[in-house]
Amino acid sequence: MEAFPVINMEKLNGEERGATMEVIKDACENWGFFELVNHGISHEQMDAVERLTKGHYRKCMEQRFKELVAAKALEGVQTEIKDMDWESTFFLRHLPVSNVSDFPDLDDEYKKVMKDFALKLEKLAEELLDLLCENLGLEKGYLKKAFHGSKGPNFGTKVSNYPPCPKPDLIKGLRAHTDAGGIILLFQDDTVSGLQLLKDGQWVDVPPMRHSIVVNLGDQLEVITNGKYKSVLHRVVAQTDGNRMSIASFYNPGNDAVIYPAPALLEKEAEKDQVYPKFVFDDYMKLYAGLKFQAKEPRFEAMKNVEASVNMGPIATA
């Protein structure tokens, strides 16, 4: 198996830029995932995020999770659990309007650190979108504009902990799925593994690396690139030892953003038909909410059917 793609972003500033862009291109076309080092977010800031996230879990989330496990009698399961995940999570929204101040059990230091971290990640996400534009031959800013809608993008962070699991063969940390949105930036635990992606029919570990950011592409980038880039199935395998931290930030289109294959890409691939639909992002998310852990292709088909019915419009009667 070829090595998991790791991008040293410092190399984008020198004579190795061309080769580094080629690695990003290959990762987007063949992996749907890559890992960033020297990405511009300080190690001190990442260490603070990790320290405060793990402290918050121990103080505010751990007991709740144990009570949930006890209430559902998950310790003693004998058959595979397919309708829930072995994870403890909460979700912070940053854009278009932050809800970070609304969490009473987050102390002021944690709120400030997470707000600062989100600003850095937002900037990094937009930088990455422009690198993707460059590789695709799209004008700079095209993807950011495509995501914008009337109020700007949606940007939020899912903070997860995956505690030790007594039956990892019977319950997943997080079941296999593709991400519905745009581009996802993950700060993951560097000592406890578990994240895997599906490549060429095999589950491949995403290697934990200290102070790295893991990037993966969501369904919307597959649509905009007309399938040139793919969102990829991934999952979290629960572990018997260690509590795995995962901080995933989702840079997604605005609710009313209209998503469709980039015309410039369709022109370049004149022989290739537009195989992906045109839709409003919020409509896709409503569909995804009930079908997250199912294949993405029927979701795209459903949106095509919606598009077709809209295009037909009302039938005039004499």
Global pTM value: 0.93
Q: What is the pLDDT of residue 310?
A: 67
User: What are the residues facing 51 on neighbouring strands?
Assistant: none
Nearest residue to 32 (alpha-carbon basis) of 206, 275, 285, 218 = 218
Position 247 pLDDT exceeds 90: yes
pLDDT at position 220 over 90: yes
CA–CA dist 266, 21 (Å, integer): 22
> What is the per-residue burial (b if ≥16 Cβ within 10 Å, else e) of 224-234?
bbbbbbbbbbb
Q: What is the pLDDT of residues 256-269, one digit of tens each?
A: 999 999 999 998 87
pLDDT at 309 over 90: no
pLDDT of 315 above 70: no
In the chain, the amino acid numbered 132 is L
